[in-house]
Copies of this chain bind each other. A is one copy, B any other.
Amino acid sequence: MTAPTPRHKRATIFDVAAEAGVSRGTVSRVLNGEPYVSAAAREAIEAAIAKVGYVRNTAARNLATQSSGAIALIVHEPDSVFIDDPNIGAILLGANAALSAADYQLVSLLIDDDRDSQRVTGYLGGGFVDGAIIVSAREGDPISQAIADLRLPAVMIGRPDNQSQLPWVGIDNRGAARRITERLVATGRRRVGMIAAGLDRDSGRDRLAGFRDALGASFDDTLVSRQPFYTYAAGVAGMAELLRAAPDIDGVFAASDAVAAGALEALRGAGRRVPADIGVVGFDDSTWALRAQPALSTVRQPAGQLGARAAELVLDQVRSGGRPADGALLATEVVWRDSA
């Protein structure tokens, strides 16, 4: 057992005031950049602050102001997916940049199991944050419910389920899926299938719907493989399934780039050439797209902007005390490379 390092007693406003020979009120004013402080006082206080090494105690400040300068980013994913998904990283960065510009602190909270879920709920209710951004909520998510109960300003990324009244920002998954499928068909493919994934959330369902939109009457449900997650493994399995169901398949829309990469692997194993024998397209324009051989044609998702926009929307609510009417739908872009 080591001797406990004596934790330095932190300087308070009181110490600063004493050092500068003014009252605590004046110190507070300087700290908050308020007007009506004499230059002399301000200087003395700034010197004192530096001298005693003062840093504000945010807990106390929060208690007094009934607010913290922080916004939560709640990520709710099964571990494996979280590690693989580059969009989450980009969203994080985008949100961080936007909040940082407004001098807010982003704190990301990870939900991995029920226990986490409970703790996070407590955290949110504890005055630690002024608002929240929720990534990839599932239907009937207890967190979304808790946030509604707390009346905490929040926005979701990705369209939430109907019950929830939270504003959201997202992309038009359905339209984008339709557009890229149409483009795939336009390259002359006759038997095009889809490896669908994440059907328990809006993005998954909408991408499938868009695929269906594009095919219209020629849609054939035996040509769609349904997989639980947006993973490489799902792509391998899905493609194998499709190859079995329809050996003459010549086009595939994979629900994400990771899935498409897996499909490529399965195709390679089956000896099919891409794009000569079969065209494949993905979704996300993640790092997978460029890593793949051949590089994937895909839909570019503005993940960074998604995060930034979400951040702005929470901030709006925080500042106005109200809820904005609606979320925003951000534009996507089809990027065409070598896989189709």
Contacts and interface: CB of A to CB of B under 8 A. Distances in A.
Contacts of A149: 53
A278 interface: no
16 contacts: A1-B320, A2-B323, A56-B122, A57-B127, A58-B122, A58-B123, A58-B126, A59-B128, A83-B93, A100-B112, A105-B119, A105-B120, A106-B110, A107-B108, A107-B109, A232-B287
Q: Which 10 A-B pairs have the closest CB atoms?
A: A58-B126, A4-B321, A55-B125, A83-B89, A59-B62, A2-B322, A59-B127, A107-B107, A4-B322, A108-B108
A8 B151 contact: yes
Contacts of A324: 2
A113 interface: yes
Q: How large is the interface on A (under 10, 10 to 19, 20 to 34, 35 or more residues)?
A: 35 or more
A207 to B, nearest CB: 22
A75 to B, nearest CB: 9
A293 interface: yes
A205 to B, nearest CB: 26
A99 to B, nearest CB: 9
A91 B288 CA distance: 21
A139 B108 CA distance: 25
A325 interface: yes
Interface of A: 1-5, 7-8, 10, 53, 55-63, 68, 70, 79, 82-84, 86, 89-90, 92-93, 96-97, 100, 103, 105-110, 112-113, 115-116, 119-120, 122-123, 125-128, 149-151, 232, 261, 287-288, 290-291, 293, 320-325
B59 A126 contact: yes
Contacts of A55: 122, 125-126, 150
Contact of A112 (B96, B122, B293): B96
A95 to B, nearest CB: 9
